[in-house]
Structures are given as structure tokens and as C-alpha cells.
Structure 1
């Protein structure tokens, strides 16, 4: 692979799923052939120190823009062109197609031979808005390939592109580190620490926002408890919706049956997945389709850990589940349907084991980072 310039507004130490995706992919490319041009995480001494410390640990060159939000302005475009020429890059990977992919024509004129732009959930939202659709069309025309997470995002975004650009789309979802997320990830220790050793555990690992459906799980718990009286819902993560969720649990008299861990360090996440018997995140679509789940990598991380999953039907979440094999897809925002699937799984250890094993196998077959990084290397390779 020739040298690649990665242009992105989403890169660690800024937290988030897109950031983790890009970093994991970058680490699997040849570090001597990667240059990252990214925004600064946040202003101030603390942010600068955290960013500098992170960048110093990377095996590839990281160049930070002075802004905290990288946009395709004339200045940023000139800087990207300068880096392309300075480092002799022949390929460009836009970490998020919109809006940075608008710089593609300028980089092409500067000598880039391959231009790949990755789409996420927000581009699917853009595709519904007239002005944003036009920008997506321009990005599709200016790049060689737009990648997509799954069939949901592909179908939405393709409708905004020219037929030629839509035909060039290639699937490139985030991967799962099957060596980190596995059935022996330390869940027993988490259970013991939380006093849940002898209780059936439904675990939800995600940011606490309305779309994710933690409130649906709480509303489902009374129905679950009538069938499985000692069950507990373990909600892992932080976010702006936590106070509302705690009030909801208290109002339903579920203080002992709904536990909140708060934010958890990344290194501890595999063990928290492993603390569950079942993984559930019944996400739902909001804001008229503008707030949707792009894919839901947590379902695959749960599958890699050997858990059956219960997923909502928002956006691309069903793309991360083999319905009826690795778990079930339920209507988002429907506590009764969610509860019925949870009860079925909690009452049937053989079913949990069968679905968990199928999910683990599926991750190993199709979702490993090394497989997906290989696809990215092929996309970035100049023709001929």
C-alpha cells in the first residue's frame, strides 16, 4: 500500500465509536505509510496535554489542526493538500465522508490517486435533507468509493448519489477484536464486585441517550420480574439521560433490580459485557428518522463475548444481528415485546448458549478487524 493521508474530525483521545473505528483501522495499516490529519480534541491545557500524550504513543505521524472541529474550509483544504505533498501520499481516507469529503477534488488535483470516504449513521440522516443531499452527491462524485456500515445506511445514502457513485459503494463496518471480547473476559469478577453472582443479569452497555432504549428496558423489567423474580438489569455507561433513567427506575420501584455502573474505562468493557447472561439495547429511531442507529457495534461485541442479544429495529441495528440465530430484533420502544424475548432467554440456558455460540462464530467469520483492515488496504491501493 502507498502512503495514505487520513483526514478526520473524529480521532482519539476524543471519545466515541467513530474515533475508535478509525484508530483501530489506522493501527492495522503499515504505520510507516500513514499520516493522520485530525482536529484538536479540546481547547485548554488539559486537552492539549492529553492530545500530545496520545499522539506521542502512536506508531504513525499525527498532525493536529488548531481547530476542535475540522471542516472543509479553504484553509483546512490547503493544509491537507500541503500534507499530501509533503509526505508523498497517493491515497486519502476521509474518516467521515460528510462534510470532509468535499475536499476530494482539491486533493485529486494535488496528486491523490485514490480517494475513499467512509459514511456513518449521520450521512443517512443527511440523505433526507435537500441541501445535504446535494453535498452528499458532490462527495460521491469527487471520491472513488464511499463505504457504508450496513444495508440500512447503504440504501439511504445511495438514494442521494448519482447511479455511478452508488454503484461504487463498498461495505466497510467497524470490526470487533475477538481476542479482547470473548467468553472468558472477566464477567464473574464484575458480578462478584456488584453482588450479582447468583442473579440472572440483563446487561446493556452503551451511552445513556434516549435513542438507545435503556428506558424501554426499565419499563420492561416489571414484566420480566413476574417471570424471573431475581433478574437484574445492569446499565453500563454514562450520558445525559442517566438522571431521567434513575428517576424512572425509582418510580417503578426497581431500585434493587436496575443497577447503574456509570462510565467504565474501555479496558473494563469486555468484563462488563461478560457480566451479563443476555445483552439488550432496544434502540429506536427518533426525530423523524434523523436520529437513528448506524449499526450498533455493541451487539457484535456482546456476540463475541458469547451472549445472545436483543436489539431494537432502529436504522442499521438489525444488520448486527442474525435474527433468530444470534438473538432477536424487537420493535424499538415496545417494553412488552422486549420483555417477552428477555424472559424466553433467561428461562432457557440452552437457548442462550446456542445463540451465544452462533454469535461468536459469526464475529470470527465476518467481523474481525484484520479482515476489515484488509478490505480497506485494497480500497486505498492505487489502480495498476
Structure 2
């Protein structure tokens, strides 16, 4: 692999799925052949950049932080990226998110890059729907050698905005799952004991608390679930801006005693919290006329790796992360009735849960391991 400059807004310690994706891929490349150019982050408990500095120092490759918290393809940022490319002798570039950073591709090619790869997520599919951003996406496709996509949903929408030649060069590159971290023995029993859930049927949802993810749909489904499984509990794992509304909804719906909120958790505690569930459910839905959509839903695959059956919403690319009827089911996003019906069936059938969980685990091992997907990225670079 040629030496690669990774240009990205999405990089830890800033939290998020794209951040984890880019970092996990970077860590599976040859550390001597990687340089990261990223925005900075003022979050964390200190807010003064200390957390970022400590994180960067622990990485096996150089991380160069821009002074801004949001990299945009401005002349200054483009000059900085071109300077890093030449300084470190990089001949390939990976844009952690193609839009908008991929607009720098022509300038970086002039600076010496021979291979340029832009990775798309969910938001590029939304870009493809609006005339102005659609034109920019087309330029990104023309300037890069390859645009990657998460699954068929995002591919079809993004390809429609590209030239036929750029669309033909698209390659699937989804995030992977660490099957050694997410596994059936991840520590769920200890979490159940600590939360006082031992012996109770547990529906778990691990995700950021925002309206699209569908935690509200699960809360609205709980009366129907409790009518069939009276001791069931919904374990809502994660933090986010929707947390307060969700707590109020649980109280208004009369199910507050059957809904547990963990709040934000460090990443290393998530595998055990998946393992605390009998069923994983995140009935995500598409919002804002298709502009707020699920790109893939790696949480379904992490749950499958943990041996859980999954109930997914039909938003965007979420169905790409489920073998419907084999590893779980896809329901209409925003339908408490459909979510409840599938969850009740799973809670009442241990053999079905076992069969779907085992099939999901095998699927992750066959197709979604990080090492398989990192080799694909290496070949593109």
C-alpha cells in the first residue's frame, strides 16, 4: 500500500459511528504508511483539548489536527492537506467522508496524489436529493478514483447523482464488527445483575438518542409488549439530545417502571450491555422527507455478533444489516404495533432467539469482520 493521507472530520475522541469506522480502519492499515489530518474537538469533560492531545499521542501514526472544529474544503484547508501530502510523501488519499471533503480531490491530485478514495455514509444519500449538493456530489465523483458505499440503499441513491463512469467505479466498504469484542459471552449477566434485571426478559436498544433511531417507538410499543410479557423491560443504552423527551414519553405512556435508561457509556462497556438483552431492537425511521435517514445501522451487526436476534426499522440502509427472517426482522419504522408484535414473538420463543442469534453470529464472521473490510480498503488505496 502507498503511504496514505486520511482527511477526515470524523475521528475520535469525538464520539460517533463514522468516527469509530474511520479510526478502526486506520488502525488496521500499516501505521508507518498512514498520516491523519483531522479537525479538532472541544468536547469531553475538560473542553480544553487535553483529551484530544492524549488520544492523539496514543495513536501508532501521526495525527495532525486543524485549528477548526469542522474541516471544509476551503483554500486554507486544501493548502494544509496538500502540504501534509508532500511533507509525508503520501501518494494516496482517503476522505473519511466524501462530502464535502472530496471537493479537494483535484488539488490533492495536482499535489502528487495518485489514488483518491472517498467514503460515503448516510448523509451523501441526502445530498443526492437536493440540486445544489447533488452537483457537488457529482464533482466529488469526478475528482476521486473510487466512491465507496455502505449498502445497496446508499449506492443506488448516490450513483444516481454521479456520472455513469464514476458510478461504475463505486465499491462497497461498510464498517466492520470486531467479533472478538462483540460475542455471546461479553458480560451481559453482570450488567443484568447490577441493574436488577436478572431473570427478566430484556429488550435492549444501543444507540444515540435522536428521533430517527426509534427509541420512542419502542416506548410506545411497551404497553403491548407488557400485556403479553408482564415482566419485560426495555433497556435504552446511550445518550443524546432526545433523552429528556424519551423519559417524559415513558412517564406519559405509563411504562416508566419498565424502561431503564443508562445514559452515555464508554465504548468499552457497550458489548456487555448488548449481552444484557434477549432481543435487540432499534426500529429506526426516515425523517425530513428522506434527508434524515439511516445509512446502515452497525448496531444490528454488533447485536448479531453478540448472538441476539434483531428487530430493525426500514429506514434507508438499515435492512442491509439484517437477513430478514434469518437474523431478525425488519419492521416499518415508526410502527409501535409492528415492533411490539415481533418483539413479543421473540421473547416468547427461546429456540427462535437462539437460531436467529446463531445465524447472525455466523453472518458477521463470514462477511462483516474488520480484517476482511480493511483488506478491501488497502486494495483501493
Alpha-carbon offset, residue 2 of structure 1: 1.2
Find the counterpart in structure 1 of residue 368 from structure 2.
367
User: Alpha-carbon deviation of 1:43?
Assistant: 7.9
* 1:25 equivalent in structure 2: 25
- Give how far 1:46 is off: 3.4
Q: Structure 1 residue 243: deviation in Å?
A: 1.1
* Number of the residue aligned with 2:99: 98
| Distance in 2, Cα, partners of 1:9 & 1:174 | 17
The answer (yes or no) to whether the contact 1:43–1:68 under 8 Å persists in 2 is no
Is 1:169 aligned to residue 195 of structure 2? no
1:40 aligns with 2:40: yes
Aligned to 1:82: 83
- Using the TM superposition, give the Cα deviation of residue 41 of structure 1 relative to its aligned residue in structure 2, in angstroms: 1.0
Determine the C-alpha separation between the residues in 1 that align with 2:43 and 2:187: 37
Work out the CA distance in 1 between the residues paired with 2:47 and 2:281: 36
Partner of 2:214: 213
Structure 1 residues 315 and 9 mapped into 2: Cα distance closer, same or farther (>3 Å)? same
User: Structure 1's 43 and 196: CA in aligned 2 closer, same or farther, altered over 3 A?
Assistant: closer
Task: Find the aligned partners of 1:119 and 1:90 in 2 and give their Cα distance.
Answer: 21
Distance in 2 of aligned mates of 1:376 and 1:66: 28
Tell me by how many angstroms 1:214 deviates. Answer: 0.6
Query: What do residues 195-236 of structure 1 show as CA deviations (whole Å, max 9, x unaligned)?
Result: 110100000001111000011101111111111111111111
Distance 1:278 1:234 in 2: 10
**Structure 1 residue ranges (4+ consecutive) displaced by more than 3 angstroms after TM superposition:** 43-47
Aligned twin of 2:50: 49
Superposition pairs of residues 337-376 of structure 1, within 5 angstroms: 337-376=338-377
Q: Specify the alignment match of 2:11 in structure 1.
A: 11
Contact 1:238 1:262 in 2 (8 A): yes
Q: Provide the rounded CA distance (Å) in 2 between the counterparts of 1:127 and 1:254.
A: 40
Q: Is the 8 A contact 1:153 1:294 kept in 2?
A: yes
Secondary structure of the residue aligned to 1:76 is helix
Cα distance in 2 for residues equivalent to 1:251 and 1:52: 44
Asked if the contact 1:9–1:69 (Cα under 8 Å) also holds between the matched residues in 2, the reply is: yes
Q: Secondary structure at the match of 1:256?
A: helix
Distance in 1 separating the partners of 2:96 and 2:240: 24
Equivalent pair of 2:14/2:43 in contact (CA under 8 Å): no
**RMSD of aligned Cα (Å):** 1.0
Gaps of 5+ in 1: none
The 1-side partners of 2:228 and 2:347 are apart by: 9
Cα deviations across residues 26-84 of structure 1 (Å, max 9, x unaligned)? Answer: 00000000000011112897342111101100000111111111000001111111111
TM-score (norm 2): 0.99
- 3-state SS of the aligned residue for 2:257? coil
Which residue is 2:328 aligned to? Answer: 327
- What is the TM-score of this pair, normalised by structure 1? 0.98
- Mapping 1:1-384, distance limit 5 Å: 1-42=1-42, 46-380=47-381
Aligned-pair distance for 1:256?
A: 1.6
Aligned residue-pair number: 380
Q: Distance in 2 between matches of 1:74 and 1:253?
A: 55
Q: Secondary structure at the match of 2:7?
A: strand
**Runs of at least 5 residues in structure 2 that lack an aligned partner in the other structure:** none
